[in-house]
Structure 1
Amino acid sequence: MEKIFTQATVLIIPGLRDHVAAHWQTLLESKLVKVRAVPPAETDKLNCANRVARIEAELKKIEGPVILVAHSAGVLMTVHWAALHQHDIQGALLVTPPDLAESWPENYPSPEILRSEGWSPLPTQKLPFPSIVVASTNDHLAQYQAVEAMAETWGGQLVNAGAVGHLNPAAGFGDWPQAEQLILQLDALEIEQVS
């Protein structure tokens, strides 16, 4: 397996299902040289503040610049984290964020439960670091236009990944090589700033 070298440390922030063996984030973690991952929540798995605290705890273990790589609810955790904390974040890859205003399939938490656990309202300020927001044209958890609006709110660069579902194993991903390219694009930002 070819290793991926980055100047910044990559922090993987999974969604509510945490680490799934066949997920592109898990596969990516095994390829990256400078990488950490937010560990699975053992208790209060649906509590947003608990998830945000886990991100902060992991970031405190990292010295130097960080690239955040978040998927699904991990993107929402990242946005909540950014509203409360600061760290040397070089950039963030925010992939298929769910829309809290959308009616999700019944195997997902309801909007009422998520609200009671602190997920909404979602902070609406511009993120204090560069971001790339990846949207799918057929994601059952968010309409493309909703993700487009999130990217605009956060000041992020929107990438249309096409009809990739929720970009998870259920949608056929697995390996997702574009993630590597986008991470290297964010990693190159430091080089541009230094030179």
Structure 2
Amino acid sequence: MVFNADILIHAGLGNSDQQHWQSIWEKQFNFTRIEQQDWETSVCSDWIKTINDYVNRYDPENVILVGHSLACAAIASWAKQYNIAIKGVLLVAPSDTEADSYPTGTSGFTPMPLGKLPFKSITVFSNNDFYVSRERASLFADSWGSEIVNIGDAGHINVSAGYGEWNEGLELLKKLDAGY
């Protein structure tokens, strides 16, 4: 599989370990991981600045961001603040930072950003994600103007839910790369 866009991977809280689909994709396709300074007590404004720094290393119109979990809120917040037209974004398992189930220790990620994104987006979620209800994930995707993909009972779409290699996700990324 060949990608034409510059793919930037952004993990969620705690970063993604080597068995996570994001890490597998990063190695397999030589994607770039956005490295945050603090993965445990994350500050939204710091994450937004770092995202912007990485995007501006490339031609933004050729960048696709791939966010998982908390990175989805950070990317939506980045889009609201900077309004840069990138090629697209794949938002997977967005965490609901306003939910009781959301871990403590982060700051600035509430309220959830609900503005329409200024670029193409696909939001993928599951029916039984501990960090977001199906209804809230659908609200986020609708608000962002995303194509919505519900993949059923898939937990948080991470390693513990059985998502190391994730070929269906690659197909969605390829769709964004083709400009769907």
TM-score by length of 1: 0.85
Aligned match of 1:143 in 133, 138, 152? Answer: 133
1:50 aligns with 2:40: no
C-alpha displacement of 1:181: 0.2
C-alpha displacement of 1:43: 7.9
C-alpha displacement of 1:39: 1.0
Give the whole-Å Cα distance in 2 for the aligned partners of 1:153 and 1:165.
22
AA of the residue aligned to 2:69: S
Aligned to 1:19: 16
C-alpha displacement of 1:49: 0.7
Instruction: For residues 129-171 of structure 1, give each alpha carbon's deviation from its aligned partner in whole angstroms, at most 9, with x where no partner exists.
Output: 0110001011001111110111110100100111110011121
Aligned match of 1:126 in 116, 120, 137? Answer: 116
Contact 1:133/1:151, CA 8 A, preserved across alignment: yes
Give the whole-Å Cα distance in 2 for the aligned partners of 1:23 and 1:43.
16
Contact 1:66/1:88, CA 8 A, preserved across alignment: no
Give the whole-Å Cα distance in 2 for the aligned partners of 1:43 and 1:164.
24
- The number of residue pairs the alignment matches comes to 179
User: Greater CA radius of gyration, 1 or 2?
Assistant: 1
TM-score by length of 2: 0.92
Give the whole-Å Cα distance in 2 for the aligned partners of 1:163 and 1:36.
29
Aligned match of 1:60 in 56, 60, 65? Answer: 56
Percent of matched pairs sharing the same residue = 31
Aligned to 2:143: 153
1:174 aligns with 2:164: yes
Secondary structure at 2:23 match in 1:
helix
Aligned to 1:103: 100
Secondary structure at 2:178 match in 1:
helix
Secondary structure at 2:91 match in 1:
strand
AA of the residue aligned to 1:52: I
C-alpha displacement of 1:42: 4.3
Structure 1 unmatched ranges of 5 or more: none
Task: Name the Cα RMSD after superposition.
Answer: 1.8
